[in-house]
Structure 1
Amino acid sequence: MRLPSLPAAGLLALAALPLSLAALAESRPAPLQALETQGLTVHGRFAAPGGLDGYAASANGQAMTVFVTADGEHAVIGNLVDAEGNNLSAAPLERLVRASQEAETWQALEDSAWIADGRDDAKRIVYVFTDPNCPYCRRFWQAARPWIAAGEVQLRHVMVGILERDSPRLAISLLAAEDPAAALAAHEQGDAIPPLATLPRQQEVRLQENHALMENLGLYATPGLVYRDDGRLATAQGLPDDERMVEVLGPRP
């Protein structure tokens, strides 16, 4: 069975009935357990009308709701709507799945191999997938100087090496520098940073992990930006225009 993708949107919130993971696993009906063997991940249970039990779930990164009938013998995957056409699935998915997934993604970014640019106490953090040979990364670095100088933003350059043959070596050399922030700043200002003759194995592994994270986020161009927009995770690819710069970095200082 292939689990269907579901449209996102909805208006009406439902009260959640949170259970511990252990208790939830013990109480799962047979249809739900069968779906789990096919790749479904259950994130939480919530109250649903009409004698149904609602479950917020995901498969292959796609959030979805599953409704189990009162007898526990059947399940329906999809959105539940009321008599006015309101989507009753949206609020549980937002609360139990998407918020959790975004928190996990942000944590993965925090755990990646990055170089800080800006103050640690900056109000806004933006992750930037940066290739040392990317001219648009350099232009973004230059365009962001007012926000960095004002202490409003910290850019965290998640180093990747995808554009040129020597990109991986340069990226690892910057990560392994005695002062990575100073090395990156010098590089982006046009000073040649000699690549290391011998690359630290640990940094090679971290670089590959950065590549995998970039791919998992659906980013394929540098600079690849990940930031928070009204509390929600957002991404952008390539050099932002002036309007998008403000969206990514906040009001212009």
Structure 2
Amino acid sequence: MKRIILTALMLAPVVAYAQDAVPDIVKRFSEQQNITHLKAVDAPGGLKSWVGQYQDIGVNLFLTPDGQHVISGYLYDAPGKNLSEGYFKEQIYIPLGREMWKTLNEAKALKEGPDTAQRKVFVFADPFCPYCKAFWSAAQPWVAAGKVQLNTLMVAFLNPQSGRYATAILNAPDPVAAWRDYELSGGKKLPRFDGVTPKATFNLLQHHQKLMDDLGANATPAIYYMNANNELSQVLGMPDEKQLVEMFGPRP
């Protein structure tokens, strides 16, 4: 998923039509090119236009007036604004982001803060990530005040020992408390764990890694929250003060 999926833009109005209204030639081209989620858009100038999804990017298709040819490209207005990007965001990226938010909420996270918190934040964290520790620490005033629920999804890729550390935390009697103790100790207090990683834990770490990959993140912390426009937003790395307030709200 490209960063533009999660970045707010000012958009022109977009109207979606029934899938049955798509001409056969457009359908055939889409099938040949593996373009999915095809939707019609109300393009200017009398153009007949559709947007679709190819892997994790948007595609804009246009039908020539004779109805016999399909053009793939971007649509620009007179000042040079890329209208296609607006169509992609409205019809593909925003809905996809909301579906990903549902998936994040279904994940098995280390949950800190009440379910009644006004805001939820999800973060992918590696035990050896110093910026993950900094972010966890920065979030605690909001969590302690009951204003934010922080959901940590453990991943293991930064260090050869990341998997062992993540396994020890996830298999502790109280994983949330184990994660908290680990962070408060600066990575020195780790639950004892002997033996091999249980299959369930290995699968969980793999699932979290896939979620992170699907969201287009390649670094930790990878942080996700719904912004004021109900759009999925992403911050990679340690947020600055402005970003913290945007995702958590005013300081308690």
> Which bin holds the TM-score, normalised by the shorter protein?
0.7 to 0.9
Distance 1:207 1:28, change over 3 A: farther
Aligned to 2:24: 29
Find the residue that maps to 1:144 and give its secondary structure.
helix
| Structure 2: runs of 5 or more not aligned | 1-7
Alpha-carbon displacement from aligned partner over 1:154-177 (angstroms, at most 9, x marks no partner): 111010111222211221332233
User: 1:49 deviation in Å?
Assistant: 4.6
Aligned to 1:245: 244
Alpha-carbon displacement from aligned partner over 1:34-74 (angstroms, at most 9, x marks no partner): 23322212332233455532212122311232122344311
1:152-163 matched pairs, under 5 angstroms: 152-163=147-158
Alpha-carbon distance in structure 2 between the residues aligned to 1:175 and 1:235:
25
Asked whether the equivalents of residues 123 and 151 of structure 2 are also in contact (C-alpha less than 8 Å), the reply is yes
- Name the aligned partner's letter for residue 67 of structure 2: G
Alpha-carbon displacement from aligned partner over 1:102-149 (angstroms, at most 9, x marks no partner): 112223322333211111111111111111222322222122111001
User: 1:152 deviation in Å?
Assistant: 1.0
Aligned to 1:207: 205
Paired residue total: 241
State TM-score, norm by structure 1.
0.82
Q: Which has the higher contact order (CA 8 A, sep 6+)?
A: 2
- Name the aligned partner's letter for residue 209 of structure 1: H
Asked whether the equivalents of residues 58 and 64 of structure 1 are also in contact (C-alpha less than 8 Å), the reply is yes
C-alpha root-mean-square deviation of aligned residues, in Å? Answer: 2.6
1:68-217 matched pairs, under 5 angstroms: 68-81=63-76, 88-190=83-185, 191-217=189-215
Asked whether the equivalents of residues 31 and 72 of structure 1 are also in contact (C-alpha less than 8 Å), the reply is no
State TM-score, norm by structure 2.
0.82
Alpha-carbon distance in structure 2 between the residues aligned to 1:86 and 1:143:
38
Alpha-carbon distance in structure 2 between the residues aligned to 1:203 and 1:248:
29
Asked whether the equivalents of residues 225 and 233 of structure 2 are also in contact (C-alpha less than 8 Å), the reply is yes
Asked whether the equivalents of residues 125 and 156 of structure 1 are also in contact (C-alpha less than 8 Å), the reply is yes
Identity %: 35
Aligned to 1:4: none
